[in-house]
Amino acid sequence: MDVRINDVLAMKKKHPCGSDEMLVLRSGMDFRLKCRGCGHEFLVPRSKIEKNIKKILRDDNGNS
């Protein structure tokens, strides 16, 4: 799965705060994600994330 920095991942499993959207801050073997609901940041192994992604929300229009 092609996940890039600044992508927003819609997750199958919601964060305890109720949000299911995570912003990708860093990719690689481990992903650094930021919850869009509460702003919590965490590091998760790629294998775990890929199983949990429902959809990638990417804004291809903004090039800023």
What's the token pair of residue 50? 């890929």
Whole-number minimum distance, CB 48 to Zn ion, in Å?
Answer: 17
Which residues lie near Zn ion (CB under 5 A)? 15, 17, 19, 35, 37-38
Of 12, 8, 32, the residue nearest 22 (C-alpha): 8
Whole-number minimum distance, CB 3 to Zn ion, in Å?
Answer: 19
Which residue, 17 or 57, has its beta carbon nearer to Zn ion? 17
Which residue, 43 or 64, has its beta carbon nearer to Zn ion? 43
